[in-house]
Chain A
Amino acid sequence: MASAFLEMKNISKRYAGVQALDSVDLNINTGEVHCLAGTNGSGKSTIIKIISGVEKPDPGSEIYIEGTPASNRTSIESIHQGIEVIYQDLSLFPNLTVAENIALSEVIADRRKLINSGDYRKTAKIAMTRIGVEIPLSSKVEELSIADQQLVAICRALTGRLKLLIMDEPTTALTRKEIDSLLAVVMDLKSKGIATLFVSHKLDEVMEIAERVTVLRDGKKIGTWPANELDSRKLEFQMTGENFEYSHNQEVVNESEPLLRVEKLCRTDNFRNISFKVMPGEIVGITGLLGSGRTELAMSIFGMNPADSGSILLDGSKIKLDSVRKAVKHGIAYVPENRLVQGLIMEQSVSKNTVITIIERLLKKSGLINHGLKESRIEELVDKFKIKGPSVDAAVSTLSGGNQQRVVLAKWIATNPKLLILDGPTVGIDVAAKGSIHESIKQLAAEGLAVIVISDEVPEVMNSCHRIFVMNRGEFIQEFITRDVEEREILDCISSAE
């Protein structure tokens, strides 16, 4: 039986009337790789804050670190106890060098007033050798890739006497190859007796090396299981309490006059020889690894980075897309990756958010807003997307995740596009909200809209798209009809290309 490094019993936390955590127990053994899973709002971030001493739990909660009571600690004390958190945004200083980023917290912890850049480099080098990586010490952090930045953050955590490393959503911005090297680093830490707690809202690669998984839902602990007893469906059920049948899209759209036809599109260093068609009412998926050129392709179709050669035909006539303005005029809407999540003005009302994209079309001749027209447009959109909330005048922040996503879709559909390009439409959303977004996308297509969905999650494109292209190193390497293919085949296609 491994000894427990961290024992948490009966942890509760109330914020202004909201029970963020309700009597949660959590144990992490020395050198264990543990995964904490839960949807947004399940209490994951609150528990991180309590472990790292940023927040104090409510009375009655008990925390033991290496057997000694530690319920009442500050964040500095928790760092001294060997607990480090790597936040999703990494909390690095972009303008400082790698060496300085790694060594600065040690200087602060030692309460030193003066600084010696030689010491910096020494500290940084020691940390890097511990996990066997090499990053140029005098590079600025802003010049590094996200994966390297993450390694810098890990090295920084290693400068103290690290016992438990907490990583919040570490894999979202990494390619598969980078994730593999991250996992190797974590296994290496494990062999040195350092525990890792992964925090995630989805089942992902980190599960491959996790020993146990604890699931939170609505502030309560649902249970802890050995990782090998869970598969993605079981885990989703535990996280949401509902069973999601990720059915594959069985429909096929009949060959007709394509709305969009792309022929031999090339852009130096980004993609080459891309040819495909999208029919009205069709949803076409483009999947591939991060860095395969899929986002660059979408941006070219949206006029942001014009292609070097090849042609784009919309409704049968050739169009020149060298600016976003032109693309919008032709009826193309592009929702970038983080826009679906961040594209809302949270404190503003549902109604204001839905018409923000078309406000210039709601003007009277005098240039003032035509309120009658505005109200009717809002009503139409809210009806169409079945947006449910206290009222249309309520702030968007009061809506549930799924409804917020519908507001975003409504906002873009209000512009009456013919072609909608969605880049990573459900990045960062939990399973429950995902399903409802896919339904909305399908509904829009059924009304005749052509949709392109770009995603690195194969289940997502399987669920929403009629046809799927796999992209690798700037080229389409294979086309699949969703009805005739198994998820496995697409995954194999992606990984064999690597």
Chain B
Amino acid sequence: MKKLLKHHETYLVIIIVILSAVITSRNANFFTAENMFDLLKSNSFYGIMAIGVLFVLISGGIDISFPATATVAEYIMAVVIINMGGNIVVAVLIAVVVGSILGFVNGLLVYNFRIPSIITTIATMNIYYGLLTFITGGKWIYSLPDWFRSFAQIRLLTFYNADGAAYGLSIVTFIWLLVVLAAVFILRFTLLGRGIYAAGGDRKAAVRAGINVFFTETFVYTFMGFLAGLAGVVQALLVQTVAPNSIVGKELDVIAMVVLGGASLAGGKGSVTGTLLGVALLAILQNGLTLMAVPPVWYEFFVGVVILVSIGFSSLQAKKKSGNTSVIELSLEEAAE
């Protein structure tokens, strides 16, 4: 029990449980399988990008440009499949290649010029997004191919509710699940993953230990770009339109989810579990406010409150822990030995 309380994740679970209980008491529709599957589907877009942000934060950097990357990848993907045809594999491939290239550029800039990553990615965000707006004139795309539309409808598990309407585990959620598994594998079981933690903890020590910091650093930004591209496809699958301005502005929401999940902006800390809980918390909050008929204008206000309460909670615990260092007690203990 004591060990559990040490983990930031424990507090998130407690907050999620309390929040869910409150919402359920006001609207029984919240805690239903149908609503849960729907949440898992509609939030996979955020969930995928959050994993990318997690990697960048652990490495000690930050990326602001990923919504712009996602938009560019999504738009190029849409233009290609509309004009040249293709299938879902081609669509995904185009988006992730474009995303990876843009991410790789971020990584190169951050590594080679040692510009703080926040500045670098604010600059590239403006460049990526600015070029896209210039070339496309901000035009929306509606006429996505039929095969693209029908892919989005695929369910791996199907159930029917009382009214006979179908619901279940969407293919989109499944994509998110694959990303999560890949992330856990990389972070826990590969030298690359541990190298990302190590470089985020102490970059100089990582260089001295022989970790290839060029590789870890370019990898995290490229991976972020890769996932942004994938998230772009998922977004197009979910809403079936492509708009140059629909994703931009989401960067702070996603970063908030990841930080909520325990990742540190100073680098070296963060977990996939925590990130999933961070995404879940904000998703449940938004959904719950809607179900409780709270006017949407209040959404941002409550997001702010929830972030402060949950981060404040675990920071307070950390502070308590470090404040316990005493001089006298320690020496008395030693004397007793």
Chain A residues at the B interface, C-beta cutoff of 8 Å: 75-76, 79, 87, 89, 91-96, 100, 104-105, 107-109, 112-116, 268-272, 291-293, 296, 473-474
Contacts and interface: CB of A to CB of B under 8 A. Distances in A.
A93 B206 contact: yes
A87 B202 CA distance: 14
Interface stretch (B43-51, B107-115, B187-195, B303-311): B187-195
A93 B201 contact: yes
Nearest to B204: A91
B202 A93 contact: yes
B176 interface: no
Contacts of B328: 269-272, 293, 473-474
Interface stretch (B78-86, B247-255, B282-290, B329-337): B329-337
Contact of A92 (B205, B331, B332): B205
A442 B61 CA distance: 48
B327 to A, nearest CB: 5
Contacts, number: 83
Given A76-B210, A108-B209, A473-B328, A95 B190 contact: no
Specify the main secondary structure of chain B where it touches its partner: helix
Contact of A473 (B193, B268, B332): B332
Given A105-B209, A108-B191, A115-B190, 11 more contacts: A75-B210, A79-B210, A87-B208, A92-B202, A93-B197, A96-B194, A105-B210, A108-B211, A115-B191, A116-B189, A268-B326
Contacts of B194: 96, 100, 104, 107, 115
A93 B195 CA distance: 10
A314 B299 CA distance: 54
A96 B210 contact: no
Given A108-B210, A109-B210, A112-B191, A93 B327 contact: no
Of B328, B330, B332, the most chain A CB neighbours within 10 A belong to: B328
B322 to A, nearest CB: 9
A473 B331 contact: yes
Nearest to B269: A95
A104 B209 contact: yes
A192 B92 CA distance: 59
Nearest to B329: A269
Q: Which 5 A-B pairs have the closest CB atoms?
A: A269-B326, A95-B268, A91-B205, A95-B201, A93-B201
Contacts of A109: 210
Contacts of B188: 115
18 contacts: A91-B204, A93-B202, A95-B200, A95-B269, A104-B198, A105-B210, A107-B191, A108-B210, A108-B211, A113-B191, A113-B192, A114-B191, A115-B190, A115-B191, A116-B189, A271-B327, A272-B328, A291-B330
Given A92-B202, A109-B210, A269-B329, A115 B189 contact: yes
A292 B327 CA distance: 7
B301 to A, nearest CB: 33
Contacts of A115: 188-191, 193-194
Interface string B33-48: 0000000000000000
A301 B198 CA distance: 39
A93 B205 contact: yes
B190 A93 contact: no
Contacts of B208: 87, 91
B190 A293 contact: no
Contacts of A92: 202, 205
A152 B332 CA distance: 25
Interface in B165-209: 188-194, 197-198, 200-202, 204-206, 208-209
A269 B327 contact: yes
A292 B198 CA distance: 34
A103 to B, nearest CB: 10
Contacts of A112: 191
Interface string B267-297: 0110000000000000000000000000000
A96 B189 contact: no
B198 to A, nearest CB: 5
Contacts of A96: 194, 197-198, 201
Contacts of B330: 291
Contacts of A108: 191, 209-211
Of A76, A91, A116, the most chain B CB neighbours within 10 A belong to: A91
B86 to A, nearest CB: 34
A94 B327 contact: no
Contacts of A76: 210
Contacts of B190: 113-115
A460 B209 CA distance: 38
Contacts of B192: 113
A109 B211 CA distance: 10
